[in-house]
Structure 1
């Protein structure tokens, strides 16, 4: 089963930290990461990628651990991918 990994906007996590997460964990280019940060800020969340379920949960856990180590409340959630 495929799953979407989303980042949720908050008022404390810096945009630069989110860019770093997108580059280092999700493999986005700088330009892709900057566009995605603006989307997350504007829409409240953004899909960072679609993965098999186990990988999606591992990625979400990695993002959460990194955010907490840096004292950010950034939330990363996993949702079923129902696109056909």
Structure 2
């Protein structure tokens, strides 16, 4: 009679890497438009969007949010497209958290 051999397979689940979406200050993009991007694309409440906008204005950069890679990249593309359509040179980047 054949022996049964059982294997225990261990599956490790890891959290995906997260990425900060960073807005960069420039001399042309209006504060109102930055708030519009933060509310419309990044789903921030107006008060939080205003705080982030002031960070961008005063410090040179501000964090729009922290997301998985695909979501961060999608939001950057959406915001860049809105900026381009209106004629602003808003720069967004992402970096691993």
Q: Tell me the TM-score normalized by structure 2.
A: 0.81
Aligned residues: 81
Unaligned 5+ residue runs, structure 2? 1-16
Partner of residue 51, structure 2: 35
Q: Tell me the TM-score normalized by structure 1.
A: 0.93
Q: What stretches of structure 1 move > 6 A for 4+ residues in a row?
A: none
Structure 2 distance, partners of 1:54, 1:22, is: 18
Partner of residue 3, structure 2: none
User: RCO (CA 8 Å, sep 6+): is it higher in 1 or 2?
Assistant: 1
Structure 2 distance, partners of 1:4, 1:39, is: 15
Q: Which has the higher helix share?
A: 1
What aligned pairs does 1:4-83 form with structure 2 within 5 A after superposition?
4-81=20-97
